[in-house]
Amino acid sequence: MGRAMRMVLTGAGGFLGWHTQLRAFATNGITLDRLSLRESFDASGASTVLNGADRVVHIAGVNRGTDEEVENGNIHLAEQLVAALKATQQKPRTVVYANSIQATLDNPYGRGKQGAAEILRAACDQLGIVLLDLKLPNLFGEEGKPKYNSVVATFAHQVATGSTPVVAEDRELTLMHSQEAARLCLEATTELEMETAAVRILSVSEIAQTFMEFHRHYVVGELPALADTFARDLFNVYRAAVFKHRPVIKFETRADDRGYLVETMKSHGGEGQTFFSTTKSGITRGDHFHLRKIERFVVLSGEATIRLRKMFTTDVLEFAVSGCKPVAIDMPVGWVHSITNTGKTDLFTQFWTNEIFDSSDPDTFYEKVL
């Protein structure tokens, strides 16, 4: 087995930073260290972090504030990184800059991003480092902040909380899922790879309509038709927003003297697979997360605790569930999850996923909840 690639990430606490950490964690052969810039920056300490790294992924940026804060802030972050690179003895081979297509615009954000790119280019040329200047389009993804990261995050939050999104300006957007951006940041070897990256052009009104259609089905626990991976990714953003406000999906139970019946899954299109498991008392299943998969847990008999934790955080959500009153919990992407039999009898659980299991690409990554 070869040596693991060591990468250093700036902006780990942000939206794309979280997704990049998630993908790196799920990728064999990558170790990732975090580098703090801004007020906590120390050139000597930063050079120690950078020393011997194979790749630096520079995501840290400023996209909110006064015009001066936005423009100068992005340039200042690049200057900090350059100072650390110059002080590093064993320099990285590659620096990846998570730039923006807005770098061509004559506004504070565009000038700041372009200025940062020019500073990094000059320094990398001087130091013999390869710079990959990736001009990313409009990013969307799970865990985005409404009214901050993107209109996709805003609309997902609004629809998830029962509001109707308002389209103030209808225009076309070039969209890229944050996991695709993270893949490029971690794996790209040339800037030309941006030309074949997975993107989709949608109007703002089409985004709103798509979320409203998702909501029409999911509000009653049904899965909408997902025509392709892009639709799946949009749906994962929407259901991540729903999970924050309605993590448990309740079913209507039909009972008579023969017993009871409950409909645990209705899917309006696409592939899927159902699993059934028994779990002995005190045993835990799971302790993993997914990057793309939709997975539903339903306890049909017995008592259990379902636990979830957003990756790179410490807070754990716990849900006590029972076969006496079946409910569903859909696992958000990027949340590690488990189910523990807390009863005295065997636990019967139904699992549903939106894709047929492929042992060569299981989209399942081990991490303990607790």
Residue 263 lies in a domain: yes
Helices (H) and strands (E) in the chain, counts: 8, 20
Q: Look at residue 188 and tell me if it is in a domain.
A: no
152 backbone dihedrals φ, ψ, rounded to 5°: -65, -45
Which pLDDT score is estimated for 43? 86
CATH of the domain at 261: 2.60.120.10
Asked, for residue 196, whether it belongs to a domain, the answer is no
Same domain, 90 and 163: no
Verify that 227 and 266 share a domain, yes or no. Answer: no
Distances (CA, A) of 153 to 136, 175, 202, 266, 314: 17, 12, 15, 26, 23
- Across the chain, mean pLDDT equals 97
pLDDT of residue 277: 98
Supply the pTM of this predicted model: 0.96
Please state the length of the chain. Answer: 370
Using 50, 70 and 90 to split pLDDT, how confident is the model at 51? very high
Confidence tier at 294 by pLDDT (50, 70, 90): very high
- HEC assignment per residue over 141-178: CCCCCCCCCCHHHHHHHHHHCCCCCCCCCCCEEEEEEH
Residue 148 has pLDDT above 60, yes or no: yes
Structural domain that includes position 99: 1-136
pLDDT at 2 over 80: no
102: pLDDT strictly greater than 70: yes
**Residue 338 shares a structural domain with residue 207:** no
CATH of the domain at 58: 3.40.50.720
What pLDDT score was predicted for residue 44? 87
Q: Of 309, 310, 290, nearest to 351 (Cα)? A: 290
- Assess if residue 80 is contained within a domain: yes
What's residue 145's pLDDT?
Answer: 96
The band of 40, judged by pLDDT with boundaries at 50, 70 and 90, is confident
- Mean pLDDT along residues 49-64: 97
Residues 241 and 265 in one domain: no
Give the Cα separation of 49 and 220 in Å (integer). Answer: 49
Q: What percent of the chain has pLDDT over 90?
A: 96
pLDDT value at residue 3:
77
Same domain, 230 and 360: no
Domain termination residue (choose one: 211, 234, 249): 249
Does residue 186 fall inside a structural domain?
A: no
Q: How many domains does the chain contain in total?
A: 3
Instruction: Please give the pLDDT value at position 42.
Output: 87
Q: Which of 211, 259, 263, 209 is nearest to 239 (CA)?
A: 211
User: Considering only 33-42, 101-110, 228-237, 331-340, which range has the smallest mean pLDDT?
Assistant: 33-42
Task: Report residue 248's pLDDT band, with 50, 70 and 90 as the boundaries.
Answer: very high
Instruction: Output the pLDDT for position 144.
Output: 96
Chain segment 191-243, per-residue pLDDT in tens: 999 999 999 999 999 999 999 999 999 999 999 999 999 999 999 999 999 99
33, 64, 94, 186, 340 from 5: Cα distances, Å: 11, 33, 12, 10, 36
**pLDDT of residue 1 exceeding 70:** no
